Amino acid sequence: MASTQPLKIGIIGAGIMGRAHAGFLAREEQTELAAVADPYTTALAEDAGVPHFTDHRQLLRMEKLDAVIVANPNAFHVSTAVDCLDAGVPVLLEKPAAASYAEAADLVAAAGRSSTPLLVGHHRRHHPAVRAARRLIGDGGLGRIVAVNGMWLTKKADSYFDQVWRREPGAGVMLINLVHDLDLIRHLCGEIVSIQARTSNSVRGFDVEDTAGVVFETESGALGSFIASDAATAPWGWDQATEDDPTYPYNPTSFCYSIAGTEASLSFPQLGRYYHEGPSDWTRPLSLRFEAKEAGDSYTNQLRHFAAVIRREAAPAVTAADAARTLAVVEAAARAAAEGCTVRVADVLGG
Ligand SMILES: NC(=O)c1ccc[n+]([C@@H]2O[C@H](COP(=O)([O-])OP(=O)(O)OC[C@H]3O[C@@H](n4cnc5c(N)ncnc54)[C@H](O)[C@@H]3O)[C@@H](O)[C@H]2O)c1
């Protein structure tokens, strides 16, 4: 029977995202922040008036928690999540699930051995427009997908990179940002099977890329392209187009994906469906209909889903294995960029 008590949730990693999660927990009646672990800052715990631990293992030992949210740097994701699973504490693990596909494979193995649930924080999958687009595509509303095009272009403040981990391997625009978009493309358009890529660090000059372009093929034979940069002043990308996170000002003329099928095409996130009344022919005018979507935002929907996962009322919508597959695509893109060739995702999956 579902408990009416708020779920007591700990946060591991109290930086930008950990603090954002604390805000989401406070907004929901069924959750409350119970404790924080972060080796370098006590600010969030002090602000929230909850116990603070410098080591997450101490938090797991000392506090009786219903679950934790892990939002520490990518390099610690797998070891931290495995500690939580070993302690029997359900986890919402921020994306990327790991800093590499090999590490993600360790997480998949640990999650497979454990009866404790783990949800990976690919929050965009819980967005109402994503849910509506997936339904429409699944119902054949676009016909067969032919092509998909996407952009994630924005300018991060230089101070964002004061945190050393964001300039080092394990970060970069592909693992921090494009990972979201490639995950959604898999979710909406089917598995990506091969990829070509170019990356550049010429604007910021860090070890990791600030800009990346990819061309890929899905298992059904659709082709796609995507360009991402954290060094460009531009309106096109999920964050500016969706109003999903008020941190990023909404730009109503922005968009992030165009998905083209044999029978119709979809603008995203507007969900404008372009189609011909009668037979398709480029000399005939296209009709435009906006698809309905539910109200809500992805972080709230994700947290509500996580609450159901904690209570064992739902299975995780994004498993370690699913998220690992997204990382395999990112890794294939990184190899393709380094070697200047096409990389099959199956070759990454196969080791
Ligand atoms: N879902 C999203 O859209 C989204 C958005 C931003 C960040 N993220 C993810 O959230 C994670 C954190 O990103 P951020 O931007 O908040 O970084 P951040 O640098 O602002 O915060 C990381 C925090 O982790 C702490 N930390 C370092 N080592 C730790 C350890 N071993 N155990 C616990 N805490 C430790 C740091 O002191 C810092 O407070 C990353 O994995 C990032 O990819 C996800």
Residue 73: CB within 6 Å of ligand 1?
yes
91 Cα–ligand 1 center, Å: 15
49 Cα–ligand 1 center, Å: 21
Q: What is the pLDDT of residues 131-190, one digit of tens each?
A: 999 999 999 999 999 999 999 999 999 999 999 989 998 889 999 999 999 999 999 999
66 Cα–ligand 1 center, Å: 21
Strand order in the sheet with 257-261: 287-290, 272-275, 264-268, 257-261, 145-153, 223-229, 211-218, 192-200, 343-344
Residue 42: CB within 6 Å of ligand 1?
no
Q: Is the pLDDT of residue 1 over 80?
A: no
Judge if 7-124+299-319 and 125-295+329-344 fold alike in CATH terms.
no
Residue 79: CB within 6 Å of ligand 1?
no
Q: What is the pLDDT of residues 14-62, one digit of tens each?
A: 999 999 999 999 999 999 999 999 999 999 999 999 999 999 999 999 9
Give the number of the atom of ligand 1 that is nearest the alpha carbon of residue 17. Answer: 16
Give me the pLDDT at residue 3, please: 53
Give the number of the atom of ligand 1 that is nearest the alpha carbon of residue 37. Answer: 33
24 Cα–ligand 1 center, Å: 16
The set of residues, in sequence order, having a beta carbon less than 8 Å from that of 99 and lying 6+ positions away, is 74, 75, 77, 78, 169, 170, 175
DSSP calls for 216-251: EEETTS-EEEEEEESB---S-SHHHHH---TTS---
How far apart (Å, rounded) are the C-alpha atoms in residues 198 and 215?
A: 9
Closest CA to 333 of 175, 171, 153: 175
Nearest C-alpha to atom 5 of ligand 1 is from which residue?
17
Cβ burial of 335 (10 Å; 0-12, 13-18, 19+) is: middle
What is the CATH number assigned to the segment(s) 7-124+299-319?
Answer: 3.40.50.720
72 Cα–ligand 1 center, Å: 4
Nearest C-alpha to atom 21 of ligand 1 is from which residue?
15
What is the CATH number assigned to the segment(s) 125-295+329-344?
Answer: 3.30.360.10
Name the strand (E) or helix (H) holding 172.
helix 172-173
Q: What is the mean pLDDT of the chain?
A: 96
Residue 15: CB within 6 Å of ligand 1?
yes
348 Cα–ligand 1 center, Å: 26
Give the whole-number percent of the chain exceeding pLDDT 70.
99
| Threshold 0.85, pTM exceeds | yes
The set of residues, in sequence order, having a beta carbon less than 8 Å from that of 305 and lying 6+ positions away, is 119, 126, 314, 317
Give the number of the atom of ligand 1 that is nearest the alpha carbon of residue 245. Answer: 3
Give me the pLDDT at residue 246, please: 87
How far apart (Å, rounded) are the C-alpha atoms in residues 114 and 182?
A: 28
Q: Is the pLDDT of residue 241 over 60?
A: yes
Q: What is the pLDDT of residues 248-270, one digit of tens each?
A: 999 999 999 999 999 999 999 99
Annotated domain spans of the chain: 7-124+299-319, 125-295+329-344
Which pLDDT band holds residue 232 (cuts at 50, 70, 90)?
very high
28 Cα–ligand 1 center, Å: 22
